[in-house]
Amino acid sequence: MDTARPEDEPAREGGQRPHRRAHTTSSDVARYAGLFAQRTTVMRSSAMRDLMEITSRPEVISLAGGFPDTSTFPPESFAAQMTRIAQESSARALQYGPTEGFAETRAVIEEVMRAEDMRPDPEDIVVTSGGQQALDLICKTLIDPGDVVIAEGPTYPGAVPVFCSYEADTRQVGMDDEGMRIDLLEELLAELDAAGRRPKFIYSVPTFQNPGGVTLGLERRRRLVEIAREREILLVEDNPYGLLRYGGDPLPTLYSLDGGDYVLYMGTFSKILSPGIRIGWACAPPPVRAKLVLGKQAADLCTSTLSQFFVREYFGEGRWLEYVDELRDVYRSRRAAMLRALASYFPRQATWSEPEGGLFVWATLPDYIDTTDLLAKALRENVAFVPGEAAFVDGRGSGSMRLNFSAQTEDEIAEGIRRIGAVVGEQVGLYETMTQSFEIVQPSPSSAAPPGADDPPTGEVLPFQRRPPEER
């Protein structure tokens, strides 16, 4: 390795950090490249994390992140809870804690799971640094390079970098407006059987899916659990949004249908309390849980003790469900604002999901539009979304985008969608001029295409599974 200091780098003066060049050059990269582990070549960046620097600018309306609205949490309660911790438990709250989490935190988690009709054993729970760490530990525990993991297509964009960094062979199963297509899953399983391959687990966000906004139907839930039991494979149920329902009736979780033998459950406080405290959990059969704890010992010893004390104080007040109710009211109205804006500003060729809960709408545009390219144009108009490709491991999803409705006010949502609609409209206009097709592109109920037509009417279907170009 060339350890010489780059010539343009000034020497340290007065103990100050040397000035770094604004951009990493290829020779900078080459200096370290020989030291990198092989696995770094398959690591992928998270689209949402990449966008964060831009979307945190005040002039940008971000419909990109999955941010809950933390401004709804009353600052005076927060101050009172933290003061109590400082006065009564300062030494313990500032100390290390057990790797699996405090018993009090696990008791709170049990209460949260009971609110969705689950009956976990607190001994099966391991408290993690967010749901994200739970997913990382699950992969660390179960995945050897090349092992098959099955996920929905599209899947949670934050899961893609995790599957990639553990070098999983990720297969994605298409969805419709009732979630993962179990018939397609069974086809895939048969194909894998024929090739002598047994998947390690099926990863699903069955309720108000991120990014699809759809919910797995009851019959499909039952069949999915049956499949896991028949084949003795794990089903990883990731459920950050189950309590954020704005309409319709709750469905049983996969965990409650299975009883916790084959379903490895993941939860988080991020969307019902705060993502900043970084507390999530996994609830797993004892042998799996033991391995998760070993993995966590190596990763970070324990989850923030201070955050766990905060959770204990907050839940101890016994009003957490009232706050979840408040969030539901706020998000219900924002969801409605987004759906109204989409109907007004997106071209009639676009389709989108109409979620009964959660934080996201998945919109699909005419297939000649690439949403990764579109994002660059949208950012020039100070509006952001997550391009659909981030939700696939293999470059699919380029015709779709994920839109978040929890982080902005109703007016901002309407304005954001108007701006995206305008850049989409430009692309549609350009395409139609170039193809000499002078079709009317503004939304108009009377001009809706017939069922089964190539461009379905606004909002009617969820073309998660796009047909290959030759069939269009």
- Interaction of residue 268 with ligand PLP, rule CB under 6 A: yes
**Pick from 132, 141, 170, 371: which binds ligand PLP (CB under 6 A)?**
132
Residue 161 or 457: the one with the smaller Cβ distance to ligand PLP is 161
- Interaction of residue 238 with ligand PLP, rule CB under 6 A: yes
The H-or-E segment that residue 61 falls in is strand 61-62
Q: Is 54 in contact with 384 (CB distance < 8 Å)?
A: yes
**Pick from 210, 274, 307, 308: which binds ligand PLP (CB under 6 A)?**
210
Whole-angstrom Cα distance, residue 369 to residue 433? Answer: 14
The span of 95-103, 128-136, 345-353, 464-472 binding ligand PLP (CB under 6 A) equals 128-136
Letters for 417-456 (x = contact with ligand PLP by CB under 6 A, - = none) are: ----------------------------------------
Shortest distance in whole angstroms from residue 209 CB to ligand PLP = 8
Residue 158 or 457: the one with the smaller Cβ distance to ligand PLP is 158
The span of 5-13, 54-62, 127-135, 140-148 binding ligand PLP (CB under 6 A) equals 127-135
Residue 280: both structure tokens together: 């999530």
Number of CB atoms found within 10 A of residue 400's CB:
30
**Pick from 99, 204, 270, 400: which binds ligand PLP (CB under 6 A)?**
270
Whole-angstrom Cα distance, residue 416 to residue 225? Answer: 40
- Interaction of residue 131 with ligand PLP, rule CB under 6 A: yes
**Pick from 158, 295, 355, 416: which binds ligand PLP (CB under 6 A)?**
158
Residue 280 or 443: the one with the smaller Cβ distance to ligand PLP is 280
**Backbone phi, then psi, for 174, in 5-degree steps?**
-60, 160
Shortest distance in whole angstroms from residue 229 CB to ligand PLP = 23
The span of 51-59, 99-107, 125-133, 195-203 binding ligand PLP (CB under 6 A) equals 125-133
- Strand arrangement, sheet containing 234-238: 125-128, 280-283, 263-268, 234-238, 201-204, 148-153, 169-176, 179-180
Residue 99 or 268: the one with the smaller Cβ distance to ligand PLP is 268
Whole-angstrom Cα distance, residue 321 to residue 78? Answer: 16
Shortest distance in whole angstroms from residue 268 CB to ligand PLP = 3
Strands 61-62 and 400-404: unpaired
- Interaction of residue 153 with ligand PLP, rule CB under 6 A: no
Shortest distance in whole angstroms from residue 135 CB to ligand PLP = 6
Residue 244 or 369: the one with the smaller Cβ distance to ligand PLP is 244
Shortest distance in whole angstroms from residue 100 CB to ligand PLP = 17
- Interaction of residue 179 with ligand PLP, rule CB under 6 A: no
Residue nearest to ligand PLP (CB): 130
Letters for 50-69 (x = contact with ligand PLP by CB under 6 A, - = none) are: ----------------x---
**Pick from 68, 240, 260, 456: which binds ligand PLP (CB under 6 A)?**
240
Place of tokens 């966000």: 205
Q: Nearest Cα to 281, choosing from 272, 294, 268, 270? A: 268
Whole-angstrom Cα distance, residue 384 to residue 60? Answer: 7
Task: Give the helix ranges, DSSP H, for 317-394.
Answer: 320-345, 371-380
Residue 130 or 154: the one with the smaller Cβ distance to ligand PLP is 130
Whole-angstrom Cα distance, residue 70 to residue 60? Answer: 18
What is the Cα 171 distance to its own chain's centre? Answer: 17
Q: CB-hemisphere CA count at 13 Å for 234?
A: 23
Residue 208 or 352: the one with the smaller Cβ distance to ligand PLP is 208
Q: Nearest Cα to 466, choosing from 376, 382, 336, 371? A: 371
The span of 84-92, 130-138, 193-201, 306-314 binding ligand PLP (CB under 6 A) equals 130-138
Burial of residue 372 (CB within 10 Å: 0-12, 13-18, 19+) is middle
Residue 377: both structure tokens together: 């144009």
User: Which positions touch ligand PLP (CB under 6 A)?
Assistant: 66, 130-132, 156, 158, 205, 210, 238, 240, 268, 270, 275, 280
